[in-house]
Structure 1
Amino acid sequence: MMLDLSIIIPAYNRAELLRQTLCSLNQALQTLRAEIIVVDDGSAEPLEEQLSGTIDFPVRFIRQSNQGSLIARNHGLAHAIGKYVFFIDSDDQVHPDKFRVQIACLEKHQADVCYSDECVATINAEQSTLSIIGERSLPFTPDPVELYLKIQPTPGNLIFRREYITQHFTNPIVPPQRSLSPVGDIWIYYNLMIYPAKIVKVDQPYTIYIQHEQDRYSNCWEATGIASLLMTLIFLKHCPNQESTLPVRRQIGESALVSWRKLPRNFHAEFESKVLEIWKTAPPTSIENLGGRLFQKLAKLIGIENTARLLRRIQRPDYSKIQTLDRQTLNTLMQPLSNL
């Protein structure tokens, strides 16, 4: 018998945060027939053993050697049997009504993917309670390119129809590899965005992103940025150059220029060059999609690239002010990009 939902959690250490995530998920399942799959990515001590006796509901643990969260997520998907699939990181939580409301919306519209608004919260460690510190209202779009590439909901937002994602992951445009783990959630988006999909949205913050001080990929923006660039370059290498993919390739170009403008000064010459080259070789786009009023006025006078360089020089800090990695580590992370 097919279940309503498969919840897949790639996890590595951080057993207490995972326990809180699992309790949040269990509370939100209500009357749904569901499975919770934790893929233990080679934690120092098996998570199943660490959590033994601390949870009183079914959780399926799959343990693998340490290969990164992207491989772990796909490993969990291969074992999923639910009609719908939900991916969440091991340190986030969900609104108690998330699954009931979003799956009802998917069922009503026979849709492929459903997303919601979002909120950011902190955890009171002593009382295990959440404090909401901000909300993010997302626009609705029926367009996969805009959803996956421009809006880019946070991890733990979207619920997918399993058949919709598995049919496109059999031979993905961007093959899974460990070096892409810092952007594993975006890997899902890149392998779905050129395909048609029926998209629905619920207008409530049913997605909760937890802020905490423990290690997470987003704490190192350089690693995330390099993995994102690597994935973009691989995608463009394999993406069919045809009319149907024009919106995707155009949006990637727009996003590349916007990202280049946000880079700190004196970051990494090769990285900066590759990002700018993506924009230069992308299909032409409107100036209005690249910046605000000041940018548009200057671009009409001195050109888009010159304007981007000028504003970046004025507005962005030097890399030394915001770096999280030393140069040697940064150069090591850049090595996979050398052949692309």
Structure 2
Amino acid sequence: MKKIGVLTSGGDAPGMNAAIRAVVRKGIYHDIEVYGIYNGFQGLMDGKIEKMELGTVGDMIQRGGTMLYSARCEEFKTDAGQNQGIEQLKKFGIEGLIVIGGDGSFQGASKLTAKGYPCIGVPGTIDNDIPGTDFTIGFDTALNTIIESVDKIRDTATSHERTYVIEVMGRDAGDLALWAGLANGAESVIIPERDEPFDSVVERLKRGHNRGKKHSIIMLAEGVGSGIDYGKRIEEETSLETRVTVLGHIQRGGRPTGFDRVLASRLAGKAVDLLRKGEAGKMVGIQNNELVHHDIVDILNKPHELDMKLYQLMSELSI
């Protein structure tokens, strides 16, 4: 291949810029022209495409968000939208495309590949909900943002002897809540993958209060429901003063951690190599610290699986 494109799609994730940088520089190293596509699949349809140089991605590896911007595009789910995107790629002579994003982004990549246009997917989402990879770009940074926030909340929780419910992101996956709960020493972690009886949560809080515990932290994944509603139930049932913090989009921002920068660079470099080898319709990932790749169609048909051993450990440590 002599010309490839790169775009980011769906929710932004810290480390996406590091991935874009790696695609551009790896491509140029192998004498490949790299074109940046702005505003995701919507920008692809609109022809918002520019050739990228080494300097284009300079001073970007440490920045959160995505320099190519991102947008959701319902029209690209149609044949007409996909064909329009392919016409734009042909107009610029782009022979292959690297798509950085989550499962929605991979749906688009799969559709293009099915129409004979080679795409490689790079998993970028703070939710860590993509099968076939141990970690997705942005998860580690978001996790550390949560940990730092909860550390601060714990200070005031101790001062006022309160129970705090912390609602975190993750869509329908509980990875962020589970990892943050373990790292922050939460009393309970409420996640979609495990039906934690409300009575058990209440009993754990009362048991801690009775032995003199001054505060408690409950991590709740947004896929379970409203943290505000859950906090009200806790206070009504236990009579313990309860506060709720919804961390929201602060979890998506900030400088990517070293782990995410390295992960993004490795995954994006692998994606370029796959296109150079003529591969199409693949997703790159990391498993047991080794780079791997899978058919995107297979990944889209697999459910996300939480590490239940980690959940069991959290339960044992929160007695």
Say yes or no: TM over 0.5: no
More relative contact order, 1 or 2 (CA 8 Å, 6+ apart): 2
TM-score tier after normalising by the smaller chain length:
under 0.3
Q: Normalised by the size of structure 2, how large is the TM-score?
A: 0.26
Q: Normalised by the size of structure 1, how large is the TM-score?
A: 0.25
Structure number, greater radius of gyration: 2
